[in-house]
Amino acid sequence: MSLIKITNLTYAYEGGFDNIFDSVSFSIDTDWKLGFIGRNGKGKTTLLNLLLGKYEYTGSIISDAYFDYFPYEVSVEEEEVTAYELIEKWKPGAEEWRVICELTLLGLDAEVLYRPVKTLSFGERTKVMLAVLFSGENDFLLIDEPTNHLDSNGREIIKNYLASKKGFILVSHDRDLLDACTDHVLVLNRSSIEVQTGNFTSWWQNKEKADAYAISENEKHKREIGKLKASADRTARWAEKSENSKIGFDPIKETDRCISTRAYIGAKTKKMQSRVKNTQERIQREIAEKEGLLNDIESVTDLKLMPLTHHKDTLIECRNLSLSYGDKTVFQHLNLKLCNGDRLFLKGHNGCGKSSLIKAILGKVGFAEHVDEGGMILDGELDVASGLTISYINQDTSHLKGGLQEYAENNGADYTLLLSLLRQLDFDRNQFGKDIADFSMGQKKKVLIAASLIKMAHIYIWDEPLNYIDVFSRMQLEKLIETYKPTMILVEHDERFREKIGTKLVEF
């Protein structure tokens, strides 16, 4: 056991106007299973890179621990070699037998080490890298979103594996994973960093209570400020009136007012002016305290949606449907029905045909965006209602490039509304002028989500929409869908999200 002590850490991106971290101080224990929580673009991966010594900063990071990071980098050339050949590069001094032991815990045979990296699935690649990562001793491990692109079964394996380990920071937006695998949380709030004992759920419950208290106190401060301002105004008016009464004093004409009375009024006026000044200073203190209360509140803005209702109740129906590519059968004898108001989740391992079914549906309705069906062969019945309008999120973001205005024009979206929705999803205005290709993965996903929400549609088809999306935005989307009850087809492996909004489940 040892401590990682961070003191007065300050860091800004080169050319950036604002600090990502500003005089941040906290300590963490290398025995902890630490969940790392924060909105997209707030500096989670940046902090991991600072621990790794990749960036220059002011302040201090003191630790005896050796840091190692997941995922390991793989170049285009390295895709051609075996994972075994990369072990020494990834983790110098790692022993093969230890890696194989970790692979066994992850449910993989050692033979995957001797296959070219390019032949490994997302799940296999993730497990091989984790096996290498945990093959060392006394390292403190920095694990950055290990379950992205994994199916439900793969996520369950990773969850159980990490739950048996300790000595790591886990960056994840998957609440189920964070709850199962962590005993402390490190949270990037809006204006501070906090470390707390417990998992995501216990932290969130504590945060909701703290936020409710802060909002209540804020309301009390508002009322107090109102009273103080009213009192200050009354006092200021009296002082001004008294001051005016001293001007133009004529002892011959105003025999009822003597010099001593005028002196008394002057002293009283001075006293009242002092009271006005004190009250104004108190008002400023109250305002500053009120503003400080709300700095870290996660005010999750309510999003809006404009779903269309079709005149038919049944919108899509598959009867004994089979799908193949040439001689390769993807699935057989699929039956499902999508009705108005259904939120239908497609569940199954990667490669079982979930995305292929979505492509078949999009092709059937003549979806405007080109969808490559790639030699798809359908057998059985796939019926769709006529005149359907679809809003679609593709899991692939590699095509996103250019400015936001250009993107809006190319996709028939209202540019102003797009920016407004992105702000509601906690998008920084500084990003608006940048090329989308330079956005983070989470920011790219938010662009796709915002564009989908703008479109008025009968069915919203979202293929893995939440990869890289932060926890707070996920909860925003849950609330949106619960409120407007759109008809949806979704592929998403976030169990919490599915349990919250799903009405139907089809397992492949």
Within-domain flag for 301: no
Cα 109 to Cα 291: distance, rounded to the nearest angstrom: 57
Q: What is the CATH number of the domain that holds 326?
A: 3.40.50.300
Within-domain flag for 239: yes
Among candidate residues 151, 176, 199, the one where a domain is terminated: 199
3-state SS, one letter per residue, for 388-402: CCEEEECCCCCCCCC
9 and 100 co-located in one domain: yes
Q: Is the pLDDT of residue 286 over 80?
A: no
For residue 466, the model assigns a pLDDT of 95
371 and 445 co-located in one domain: yes
Within-domain flag for 304: no
Q: Are 426 and 472 in contact (CB under 8 A)?
A: yes
With cut-offs at 50, 70 and 90, classify the pLDDT of residue 373: low
For residue 281, the model assigns a pLDDT of 77
Query: How does DSSP classify residue 73?
Result: P
Q: Write out pLDDT tens, residues 338-368.
A: 999 999 999 999 889 999 999 999 988 877 5
212 and 195 co-located in one domain: no
In terms of DSSP bridges, do strands 184-188 and 459-463 run parallel, antiparallel, or are they unpaired?
unpaired
In terms of DSSP bridges, do strands 343-347 and 193-197 run parallel, antiparallel, or are they unpaired?
unpaired
Among candidate residues 141, 172, 199, the one where a domain is terminated: 199
Q: Please name the amino acid found at residue 244.
A: N
Q: Please name the amino acid found at residue 51.
A: L
Q: 118: domain range? A: 3-199
For residue 295, the model assigns a pLDDT of 58
Within-domain flag for 390: yes
Mean of per-residue pLDDT scores for the chain: 89
More confident residue, 13 or 472: 472
For residue 92, the model assigns a pLDDT of 95
Within-domain flag for 150: yes
165 and 81 co-located in one domain: yes
180 and 219 co-located in one domain: no
Within-domain flag for 299: no
Among candidate residues 138, 166, 199, the one where a domain is terminated: 199
Residue entry with tokens 């950036």: 16
The pair of three-digit structure tokens given for residue 423, joined into one six-digit string: 């702000």
The DSSP string of 158-196 is: HHHHHHT--SEEEE---HHHHHHH-SEEEEE-SS-EEEE
With cut-offs at 50, 70 and 90, classify the pLDDT of residue 182: very high
8 and 97 co-located in one domain: yes
Report field, pTM of the whole predicted structure over 0.75: yes
Cα 398 to Cα 123: distance, rounded to the nearest angstrom: 20
With cut-offs at 50, 70 and 90, classify the pLDDT of residue 414: very high
Within-domain flag for 404: yes
CA 208, chain centre distance (Å): 17
268 and 396 co-located in one domain: no
In the chain, how many domains are there? 3
235 and 96 co-located in one domain: no
Q: For the chain, percent helix, then strand, then coil, each to nearest 5?
A: 45, 20, 35
103 and 245 co-located in one domain: no
b/e for 433-455, b at 16 or more Cβ within 10 A? eeebeebeebbbbbbbbbbbbbb
The pair of three-digit structure tokens given for residue 370, joined into one six-digit string: 């080109």
Lowest mean pLDDT among 139-148, 222-231, 315-324: 222-231
Q: Is 219 exposed, middle or buried (0-12, 13-18, 19+ CB in 10 A)?
A: exposed
* Residue 166 backbone class (left: φ over 0; alpha: ψ -120 to 50; beta: rest): beta
Using alpha carbons, list the distances in angstroms from residue 196 to 188, 190, 231. Answer: 12, 16, 42
The pair of three-digit structure tokens given for residue 372, joined into one six-digit string: 């490559």
232 and 169 co-located in one domain: no
Within-domain flag for 117: yes
Residue entry with tokens 């989470």: 442
463 beta partners: 491
21 and 170 co-located in one domain: yes
224 and 161 co-located in one domain: no
Q: Is the pLDDT of residue 287 over 80?
A: no
For residue 14, the model assigns a pLDDT of 80
CA 260, chain centre distance (Å): 71
